Structure 1
Amino acid sequence: MSYAIIGFGKIGQALAKAFARNSIEVSVATTRDPASFASDAAAIGPQVVPVNLTEAVKADILFLAVRFEAHPDVARALATWQGKTIVDVTNTRVPPEQLGGQPSSRVVAQAFTGGRLVKGFNHLGATVLGQDPAVQGGRRVVFLASDDEEAAMEIGRLAERLGYAPVELGALSEGGLLVQARGDTWGRLIFKDLVKFG
């Protein structure tokens, strides 16, 4: 199984730290030349490999950590996303009416034709997400929502490998709304830093 993070801002770097902490190799990419962020990747660890977008989208599991408005540009990198799982880490300031009343993650899912989408890792700020998820004997919670139960389970297993406690919330139009930020409408679980014990 191969992994990539698309977007290497604060959230992308926080995710990369989780992979590096657990000695799991992950490719990182932006629309820029990999050489422009190679030093930032090296500072996190040797497991974080800067590549171009064309190389990154070959991964089996991709974390989408770009601005919401940039997701169509990433989606155009492949004609079909069949066989790939996309973890939507985006949040948006776009008002709900501009999304046709849909959850923002459903809009993202439609752009990645053929792919399996899981909303996740987006409810924590970059500073918290970048910390070790082991907290006072417990594990930091990450919420996951998807219309594909198998994909949610797959990302749940990966979250556990990264040290988190995954909590599945159900479908995008149900549990996904709890972790959605769009316009001035924020889900009830956004920025809730919870720890699971036992």
Structure 2
Amino acid sequence: MRIGIIGAGHIGATLARQFARIGHEVVISNSRGPQTLQALVQNLGGGVRAVTPAEAVAFGEVVVVSVPYGRYRELPAEGFDGKVVIDTCNYYPERDGHDPDLDSGATTSSEKIRDQLGGADVVKAFNAIHWENIRDRGRPKGDPERLAIPISGGDEDAKAVVAGLIRDIGFDPLDAGYLGRGGSKHQPGTRLYGAELNAEEASALLHTHAG
């Protein structure tokens, strides 16, 4: 599968390494240009290439958006039709500035990103797990210490693609529901956010979720 990643921070770079490790074609981008990523891609290995954000969108069948939420309006404005978009972003007011729509609970960061991308098939995932765990904690299927990763989205086919990627790098996907209502269950401030739980434990927590 071809995977384009926008954002070369801890989450974006770690996902690039993991997806390349299991045989996917991966490109990675940031806001400063491919020339600033040469040392990173050499370190990542697996044939990962550095490109521009627009090139990452054009390349990927799956596009990972892993930028600070406060900069989501800088994402490429087009090219997302027919793509599965993985949103790893979280809203942190102290970093991103206050967003009245999010502060009031009127919508979620993922829904605003979806709208920015022209209604792409957005799946929220990898936002509730520490990047070090993505790097270090992958386990074989059936291992009781295999961690769960909550996902949410409106398109079942898109969620199935993301769930498959999660399984392939050594984790269990946990379907939290639709993008808005589901995403609100694993955003910062919830009990699932940052929780290191297996699928059974995480599912129990999800279904007794009280924020």
Q: Same fold by TM (over 0.5)?
A: yes
Q: Which has a greater percent of strand? A: 1
Equivalent of residue 152 in structure 2, options 136, 145, 150: 145
Length-normalised TM-score, structure 2: 0.82
Deviation at 1:56, TM superposition (A): 0.6
Equivalent-residue separation in structure 1 for 2:127 and 2:52 (angstroms): 24
The counterpart of 1:103, out of the listed 96, 104, 108, is: 108
Structure 1 runs not aligned, ≥5 long:
none
Superposition pairs of residues 152-171 of structure 1, within 5 angstroms: 152-171=159-178
- Deviation, structure 1 residue 81: 2.1
CA distance in 2, matches of 1:163, 1:17: 13
Measured in 2, the distance between the counterparts of 1:190 and 1:47 equals: 32
Higher RCO (C-alpha under 8 Å, 6+ residues apart): 1
Q: Tell me the residue number matched to 2:14.
A: 14
1:42-121 correspondence runs (5 A): 42-58=42-58, 59-76=60-77, 78=78, 80-94=79-93, 95=98, 97-99=100-102, 101-121=106-126
Mapped to 2, the partners of 1:13 and 1:114 lie a distance apart of 25
Cα-to-partner distance string for 1:123-162 (whole Å, 9 max, x where unaligned): 0122222224117934321111012222111211222222
Cα deviation digits, residues 58-101 of structure 1 (max 9, x gap): 1111111100011111142x2x5210111110001235634362
In structure 1, how many angstroms separate the alpha carbons of the residues matched to 2:46 and 2:165? 20
What secondary structure, in the 3-state scheme, does the structure 2 residue paired with 1:106 have? helix
- TM value normalised by structure 1: 0.87
- In structure 2, what is the Cα distance between the partners aligned to 1:147 and 1:96? 23
1:172 pairs with 2:179: yes
Q: CA deviation at 1:175?
A: 2.0
Q: Is the 8 A contact 2:17 2:46 kept in 1?
A: no
Deviation at 1:173, TM superposition (A): 2.7
Q: Secondary structure of the residue that 1:134 maps to in structure 2?
A: coil
| Fraction of identical pairs, as percent | 26
1: CA distance, partners of 2:76 / 2:118: 8
- Amino acid in structure 2 at the alignment position of 1:134: R
Shift of 1:188: 2.1
Aligned pair count reads 191
Q: CA deviation at 1:103?
A: 1.4
- The structure 1 residue matched to 2:190, chosen from 184, 187, 197, is 187
Partner in structure 2 of residue 34 of structure 1: 34
Which 4+ stretches in 1 moved above 6 angstroms? none
The answer to which of 116-125 and 11-20 deviates more is 11-20
The answer to which structure has the higher helix fraction is 2
Give 2:3's aligned residue. 3
Residue in structure 1 matched with residue 204 of structure 2 by the alignment: none
| Code of the aligned partner of 2:171 | Y
